[in-house]
A = this chain, B = another copy of it.
Amino acid sequence: MKRMTIKELIDQKPVDTTQNIKGWIRSVRNSKKFSFVVVYDGTSQENIQVVVDETLANYAEVAALLSGSAVSIVGKVVMGGGKTPALEIQAQSVEIYSKTDDSYPLQKKATSLEFLREQAHLRIRTNLFGAVMRLRHHLAMGTHDFFSKRGFYYLNSPIISGVDAEGAGEMFTVSTLATDITKSPKHKDGKLDFEKDYFGKETFLAVTGQLEGECYAMGLNAIYTFGPTFRSENSNTTRHLSEFWMIEPEVAFADLDEIADLAADYIKHLIDYALTHASKELEFLHKSEYSVVGEDHIDILKHVRDSKFKRITYTEAMDILSKIDPAVKKFEYPTTWGSELQTEHERFLAEEHFKSPVIVTDYPKEFKAFYMKQNPDGKTVRAMDILVPGIGEIIGGSQREEDLAKLEKRMDEMGMNKEPLWWYLDLRRFGSVPHAGFGLGFERALMYISGMGNIRDVIPFPRTPKNCDF
């Protein structure tokens, strides 16, 4: 007999037929003459209740099964009674693949998020992480759907990189010399001789795919990356990971306004896609005791999907912030022009002032990367950040400087070594056109939509300082 998944069962509702399901036991409740065995298989947010009658040959063994045991069940599908009628299976046979005992870590009592992070190999078996990771899947599919339907080509930018593309220096070194440095070739000063390393030079894990994305936008018109990126900064916050996934579109012939529209449309599309494909998961997550949002979060998401994002300049943002009565909101960091827009400012603007996502544009050049297009004012660049309630910055983007002389001048001002980026400068030497792009932190988007409060709980196996288990 061909097995049916629980998702197929719920979608197709084959009442009065005999079917085979396979899965794991969520709970067993024994009554006088039968047992209710609740089974999940991970294909759906919903479980299936199986009624096992005491007349079944291995009834005693089944009735004694503990949560997490694996079974294959053949039985008749019926519509059960009760207040909210649901599909049920009347078991004709229960085959047991494996039994858990009391040592199974996922007991009801022990399910703090901290504990579950230590059981990252098992936590996917909980309702909570099943919901998070199915939602993650749908947001990934929604991403490919959004960009491919708009004619963007998917680019796999390189992970091992020879350059520090953001100039921030927070990079992991990739090497085959480090394992046993006593045997590795070294310079006279004692440092490793990276010319003798695997790639013949010092290499790093990429912090962005943008620069290679620009190369490809100049050949394919519009591309997007969706891959892992890395930061070795020592940040132990609920919003930082050392390894995270980023989506970075890059569009030839586009300016900042177009890319800001694209970014807003993309966020709205992600929300819409989640509402369409993962409504049960969203409902479960927003109601969960682990959620940091209210049950009304789905209405907030719908509002965001249907509203026009506010758009202000950095100058306007500082103007708003500096006029806030300290009795209403006291900021830790200054709100004078030329100060950094801090997370407290970002969250105030999105959560309290506009109560919606807000796009901030035209930041002082000092806070932004070398490649951003310089405004005629000589002070600001064509950058934009999108801030959302509960998270702060979720997207950062810019129009890129397409003028070779201006770009080189800015790199010189910032004391950068232009030589390793000869190829990036070539894009301005040959066939240069206006272009723009942005980056979305996938996990931050997932936090925002799921209502989970810690970024470690929206990626399968989180990597953070001092933590690389599994």
Determine whether A370 belongs to the interface, using a CB cutoff of 8 Å to chain B.
Answer: no
Q: Is the CB of A5 within 8 A of B243?
A: no
Determine whether A290 belongs to the interface, using a CB cutoff of 8 Å to chain B.
Answer: no
Task: Pick the contact of A221: B5, B157, B182 (CB < 8 A).
Answer: B5
Q: Contacts of A43 on B, CB cut-off 8 Å?
A: 151, 220-222
Determine whether A242 belongs to the interface, using a CB cutoff of 8 Å to chain B.
Answer: yes
Q: Is the CB of B198 within 8 A of A232?
A: yes
If the complex has contacts A219-B124, A228-B228, A432-B97, are A460 and B156 also in contact, measured as CB distance less than 8 A?
A: yes
Q: Contacts of A212 on B, CB cut-off 8 Å?
A: 121, 460-461, 470
Q: Contacts of A75 on B, CB cut-off 8 Å?
A: none
Whole-angstrom distance from the CB of A51 to the nearest CB of chain B? 22
Determine whether A68 belongs to the interface, using a CB cutoff of 8 Å to chain B.
Answer: yes
Task: Pick the contact of A174: B151, B173, B189 (CB < 8 A).
Answer: B173
If the complex has contacts A153-B137, A160-B242, A470-B215, are A175 and B176 also in contact, measured as CB distance less than 8 A?
A: no
26 A–B contact pairs at CB < 8 A?
A24-B218, A69-B431, A98-B430, A124-B215, A124-B216, A124-B220, A125-B219, A129-B219, A130-B219, A133-B155, A133-B220, A134-B220, A140-B154, A158-B468, A158-B470, A160-B172, A160-B242, A162-B470, A173-B174, A173-B176, A174-B205, A180-B191, A181-B181, A182-B191, A199-B466, A199-B467
Q: Residues of A with Cβ closer than 8 Å to B?
A: 3, 5, 7-8, 22-24, 41-43, 68-70, 72, 97-98, 100, 103-106, 120-125, 129-130, 133-134, 136-137, 140-141, 144, 148, 151, 153-162, 172-182, 186, 189-192, 198-203, 205, 212, 215-216, 218-222, 227-228, 230, 232, 242-243, 245, 252-253, 402, 423-424, 426-427, 429-434, 459-461, 463, 465-470
